[in-house]
């Protein structure tokens, strides 16, 4: 069962990554060129998933959409890790008021919903891929800070850290040589789960028209367009949603699978 | 008691932090509000003139304190054009959103509690694993797609329910209900999927406890032991999660309102974003964040009710 989660997660994530890579070199049709004659075609050999209200091939848009989803995921999760991990390690190693301050601030950020932050940024700067990335990234920082702090606290209790400190290794060197390599698995699990959240959030923002502009194919944007023609072309609303669900399920399963594979103690509890 | 006081202090600090974040994001660039009103092609002189008119040329912290004082008195601000009170815009929209979030959360609990208990008891059998798997899939479904799929089935194919729109309960209760079924179902099902997972692990924890084994050994059925001992013990860890879910339901409702074009707080907020009505955005976001923080605080304080140990521990 545990291995199944890991493999199913890897397969689903692999599928999305492949789609994104493929879209860089090839799509069946132009994913943005409007073709009025081909409006709302049903599934056929020429268009396996049909065409949308602008006559654009849905499969082509779906493939390019994978790229947008992964791009927002990579940048926002990367941003969150780059800020959150050092803060968490610092809090875990220093303890005292530093730890208290970092944790309290991350509690405040954590309580502030990502969607509201994205709405604020979109209201001031206009909705774009960048504001979506920043909003999702900032909201994910607390998760990385907490995970890294908890991992650091565990590592700091180990004898090899004591030995390193006793032999005069400085705090930054200890952090890089001993702490980081030993918490990297926790960060990996967090990144996978964070990716799932980011893909969901990106889809919601582009659906609401607060993220990536409509001209660029995104799964959320495709669903928004599909709603206009729901009564005449209902199948259109199926594919982008399935794509989002595949990606999110994949990253969630991958995160769970990794966590269990790395921590045998959890196996019984589940 | 000390615990309650500490929690209230944490709430106050979080609320202040949120207010700083909201105000300074909206007012970060000088002349922002004035620019938003006049549009991008306005001359700098005109922007400066309007800024002075609206009092925007004063130091930002003075304006922050003024705004904060107003918010504390329930005054969320006044739009510079038309001079609408944000709270007056907000108030009529509140009903729809309260129904949606309240009923949606109720539905989520009604589904997730039995389903999660079932998944915990049968965790080694196919039926229990199936419930967990279903919840895992449900967690991956974006709330707006879930809504669109429900519209597809119940409005487009079966034609049982309206696809969108809203009728106040005072106008026509039957029509009100039929317009709310799909939005509430959407929000409730998505929230339930997340909750099931937590209910399951909370009850699995209870199944491993000594008091549970004792209850079983004196001849209680598994079900009776779970209801008598399990519910109260699981409630402690579940209340945190339910609180977080409540908060996420408030945000989820913004999206659901958009799917079903319900005239709630979320649609007020989104239309203010599209017209760049920054004062309204600022007021409504602050209101929603406050609601989220209040719920989180209430949940933490409710520990004391569920768990008598917390009273003496403080």
The DSSP bridge partners found for residue B78 are: B85
First to last CA, chain A: 10
Chain A residues within an 8 Å CB radius of B290:
none
The answer to whether residue B312 is domain-embedded is no
- Is the CB of residue B21 less than 8 Å from the CB of residue A121? no
Judge whether B313 lies within some domain: no
- A252 closest CB neighbour out of B139, B285, B296: B139
Residues of the domain holding B23: 2-86
DSSP letter string, B30-55: TTHHHHHHH-TT--HHHHHHHHHHTT
Q: Are residues B131 and B244 in the same domain?
A: yes
* Cβ separation B148–A104 shorter than 8 A: no
Distance between CA atoms of B131 and A255, rounded to whole angstroms?
20
Tell whether B19 and B154 lie within a shared domain: no
- With an 8 Å Cβ cutoff, are A210 and B148 in contact? no
Query: pLDDT of A127-172, one tens digit each?
Result: 899 999 999 999 999 999 999 999 999 888 888 888 988 888 888 8
Predicted confidence band of residue A41 (pLDDT cuts 50, 70, 90): confident
Residues B93 and B68 in one domain: no
Q: In whole angstroms, what is the distance from residue A223 CA to residue B164 CA?
A: 16
Q: With respect to residue B135, please indicate whether it lies within any of the assigned structural domains.
A: yes
| Residue A270 confidence (pLDDT) above 50 | no
Asked whether residue B106 falls in the same domain as residue B221, the answer is yes
The pTM assigned to this predicted structure is 0.88
Residues B103 and B67 in one domain: no
CB-CB under 8 Å, B140 with A208? no
Query: What's the pLDDT score for residue B31?
Result: 59
Same domain, B162 and B24: no
Q: Tell me what the pLDDT averaged over chain A comes to.
A: 88
Residue B311 is assigned to a structural domain of this protein: no
Residue B314 inside a domain? The answer is no
Chain A positions touching B275 (Cβ under 8 A) are none
Residue B148 within any structural domain of the chain: yes
Instruction: For residue A239, give the nearest of A73, A59, A46, A12 by alpha carbon.
Output: A59
Neighbours of A30 (CB within 10 A): 12
Residues 6 or more apart in contact with residue B40 via CB below 8 angstroms: none
Examine the pLDDT at A268 and tell me if it is beyond 70: no
Kindly tell me if the per-residue pLDDT of A90 is higher than 60. yes
Distance of CA B60 to the CA centre of its chain: 30
Distance from CA of B34 to the nearest CA of A (A): 12
pLDDT of residue B177: 87
Does residue B26 sit in the same domain as residue B118? no
H or E element at residue A211: none
DSSP result, chain B:
-HHHHHHHHHHHHHHHHHHHHHHHHHTSSTTHHHHHHH-TT--HHHHHHHHHHTTTTS-HHHHHHHHHHHHHTT---B-TTTT-BHHHHHHHHHHHHHHHHHHHHHHHHHHHHHHHHHHHHTTTSHHHHHHHHHHHHHHTS-HHHHHHHHHIIIIIIS--S-SS----TTT-HHHHHHHHHHHHHHHHHHHHHHHHHHHHHHHHHHHTSHHHHHHHHTT--HHHHIIIIIHHHHHHHHHHHHHHHHHHHHHHHHHHHHHTT--SHHHHHHHHHHTT-HHHHHHHHHHHHHHHHHHHHHHHHHHHHH-HHHHHH-
pLDDT of residue A265: 56
Q: Using only C-alpha atoms, what is the Rg of chain A?
A: 22
Residue A44, classed as helix, strand or coil, is: coil
Q: Could B141 and A226 be called an inter-chain contact, meaning their C-beta atoms sit closer than 8 Å?
A: no
Of B52, B69, B86, which residue constitutes the final position of a domain? Answer: B86
The 10 Å Cβ neighbour count of residue B78 is 16
Reduce the DSSP state of residue A51 to 3 states and report it.
strand
Å between B177 CA and nearest CA of chain A: 22
Which residues on adjacent β-strands are paired with residue B270?
none
Cβ neighbours of B255 in A, within 8 Å:
115, 204, 207-208
Is the CA virtual torsion A130, A136, A142, A147 positive or negative?
Answer: negative
Q: Report pLDDT for A78.
A: 96
DSSP bridge pairs for A51: A57
At residue B243, φ and ψ (nearest 5 deg) are: -65, -45
Percent of chain A with pLDDT over 90: 48
What confidence tens digit (pLDDT) does each residue in A95-134 have? 889 998 999 889 888 888 889 999 999 988 888 999 999 9
Other C-beta atoms lying within 10 Å of the C-beta of residue A232? 11
pLDDT in tens, B37-85: 777 777 778 777 777 777 777 788 888 888 888 888 878 888 776 678 8
For chain A, what percent of residues have pLDDT higher than 70? Answer: 96
Residues with Cβ within 8 Å of A230's Cβ and at least 6 positions away in sequence, in order, are A236, A237, B148, B151, B152, B156, B163
Q: What interhelical angle do A219-228 and B143-151 show, nearest 10?
A: 20
pLDDT tens digits along A6-18: 999 999 999 999 9
Tokens for B284? Answer: 């409504």
Return the residue in B145, B204, B244, B256 with the most chain A beta carbons within 10 A, the one to mutate for interface testing: B145
Output DSSP code: residue A48. T
Give B97-143 as a DSSP string.
HHHHHHHHHHHHHHHHHHHHHHHHHTTTSHHHHHHHHHHHHHHTS-H
What is the distance between the alpha carbons of residues B161 and B155, in angstroms, rounded to a whole number? Answer: 5
Q: Does A208 touch chain B (CB under 8 A)?
A: yes
The span from the CA of B74 to the CA of B68, in Å, is: 10
Cβ neighbour number for residue B41 with a 10 Å cutoff: 5
Task: Note whether B269 and B301 are same-domain residues.
Answer: yes
Is the CB of B55 inside 8 Å of chain A's CB atoms? no
Question: What pLDDT does A232 receive?
Answer: 84
Domains of chain A, earliest start first? 55-268 (1.10.3720.10)
* pLDDT score at B310: 65
Of B62, B86, B110, the residue at which a domain comes to its end is B86
Total domains present in chain B: 2
- Does one domain contain both B25 and B112? no
- CA-closest candidate to residue A66, choices A135, A20, A100: A20
Determine the Cα–Cα distance for residues B177 and B170; give it in Å rounded to an integer. 11
- Helices A58-94, A2-25: crossing angle, 10 deg rounding: 120
CATH of the domain at B288: 1.10.3720.10
Of B25, B142, B204, the CB nearest to A241: B142
- Interface list for B 259-288 with A (CB within 8 A): 259, 269-270, 272-274, 276, 278, 281, 285, 288
pLDDT of residue B311: 63
Q: Which ranges in A26-128 belong to alpha helices (H)?
A: 58-94, 96-111, 114-125
For residue A2, is pLDDT > 90?
no
Hey, which residues does A57 pair with through a beta bridge? Answer: A51
- Examine residue B110 and state whether it is found in any structural domain, yes or no: yes
- Which of A194, A187, A208, A192 is closest to A110 using CA atoms? A194
Q: Are residues B288 and B149 in the same domain?
A: yes
Question: What's the burial of A3, exposed, middle or buried (CB within 10 Å: 0-12/13-18/19+)?
Answer: exposed
Query: Number of CB pairs < 8 Å for A and B?
Result: 136
Same domain? For B46 and B97 the reply is no
Q: What is the pLDDT along chain B (314 residues), one digit of tens a residue?
A: 777 888 888 888 889 989 998 998 888 766 567 777 777 777 778 777 777 777 777 788 888 888 888 888 878 888 776 678 888 888 888 989 999 999 999 999 999 999 998 998 888 899 999 999 999 999 999 999 999 999 999 988 898 988 888 888 888 888 888 899 999 999 999 999 999 989 998 888 888 888 888 888 888 888 888 888 878 778 877 887 888 888 889 999 999 999 999 999 999 999 999 888 888 999 999 999 999 989 888 887 877 766 666 665 44
Does some domain include residue B11?
Answer: yes
Residues B164 and B276 in one domain: yes
Task: Write out the two tokens for B236.
Answer: 């402690």
Which residue, B68, B86, B104, sits at the end of a domain? B86
DSSP state of A32: S
Question: Could you give the CA distance from residue B12 to residue A265 in angstroms, rounded to a whole number?
Answer: 39
């Amino acid at each position: 069962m545990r291995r199944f989660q890991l493999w199913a997660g890897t397969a689903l994530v692999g599928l999305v990554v492949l789609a994104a890579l493929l879209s860089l070199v090839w799509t069946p049709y132009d994913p943005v060129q409007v073709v009025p004659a081909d409006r709302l075609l049903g599934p056929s050999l020429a268009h396996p998933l049909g065409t949308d209200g602008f006559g654009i091939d849905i499969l082509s848009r779906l493939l390019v959409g994978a790229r947008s989803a992964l791009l927002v995921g990579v940048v926002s999760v990367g941003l969150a890790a780059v800020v959150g991990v050092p803060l968490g390690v610092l809090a875990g190693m220093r303890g005292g008021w530093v730890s208290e301050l970092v944790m309290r601030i991350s509690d405040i950020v954590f309580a502030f919903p990502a969607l509201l932050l994205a709405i604020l940024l979109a209201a001031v700067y206009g909705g774009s891929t960048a504001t979506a990335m920043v909003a999702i990234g900032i909201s994910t920082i607390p998760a990385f800070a907490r995970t890294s702090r908890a991992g650091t606290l565990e590592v700091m209790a180990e004898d090899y850290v004591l030995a390193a400190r006793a032999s005069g290794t400085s705090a930054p060197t200890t952090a890089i040589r001993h702490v980081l390599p030993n918490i990297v698995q926790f960060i990996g699990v967090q990144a996978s789960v964070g990716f799932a959240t980011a893909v969901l959030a990106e889809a919601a923002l582009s659906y609401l028209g607060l993220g990536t502009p409509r001209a660029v194919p995104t799964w959320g944007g495709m669903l928004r367009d599909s709603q206009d023609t729901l009564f005449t072309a209902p199948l259109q609303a199926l594919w982008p949603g399935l794509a989002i669900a595949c990606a999110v399920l994949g990253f969630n399963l991958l995160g769970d699978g990794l966590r269990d594979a790395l921590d045998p103690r959890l196996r019984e509890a589940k | 008691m000390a615990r309650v006081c500490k929690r209230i202090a944490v709430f106050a600090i979080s609320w202040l932090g949120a207010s700083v974040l909201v105000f300074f994001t909206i007012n970060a660039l000088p002349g922002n509000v004035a620019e938003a009103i006049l549009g991008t092609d306005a001359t700098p002189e005109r922007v400066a003139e309007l800024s002075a008119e609206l009092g925007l040329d004063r130091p930002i912290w003075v304006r922050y304190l003024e705004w904060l004082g107003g918010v504390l008195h329930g005054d969320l601000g006044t739009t510079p054009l038309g001079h609408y009170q944000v709270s007056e815009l907000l108030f009529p929209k509140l009903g729809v959103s309260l129904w949606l979030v309240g009923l949606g959360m109720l539905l989520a609990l009604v589904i997730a509690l039995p389903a999660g208990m079932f998944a915990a008891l049968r965790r080694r059998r196919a039926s229990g694993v199936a419930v967990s798997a279903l919840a895992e899939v449900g967690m991956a479904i974006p709330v707006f797609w879930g809504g669109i799929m429900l519209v597809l089935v119940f409005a487009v194919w079966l034609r049982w329910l309206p696809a969108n729109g809203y009728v106040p309960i005072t106008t026509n209760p039957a029509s009100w209900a039929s317009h709310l079924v799909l939005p509430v179902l959407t929000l409730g099902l998505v929230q339930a999927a997340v909750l099931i997972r937590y209910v399951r692990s909370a009850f699995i924890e209870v199944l491993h406890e000594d008091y549970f084994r004792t209850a079983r050994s004196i001849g209680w059925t598994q079900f009776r032991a779970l209801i008598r001992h399990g519910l109260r013990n699981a409630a402690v860890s579940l209340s945190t999660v339910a609180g977080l879910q409540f908060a996420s339901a408030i945000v989820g409702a913004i999206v659901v309102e958009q799917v079903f074009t319900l005239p709630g707080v979320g649609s007020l907020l989104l239309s203010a974003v599209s017209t760049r009505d920054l004062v309204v955005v600022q007021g409504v976001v602050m209101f929603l964040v406050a609601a989220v923080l209040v719920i989180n605080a209430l949940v933490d304080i409710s520990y004391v009710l569920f768990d008598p140990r917390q009273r003496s521990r403080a």
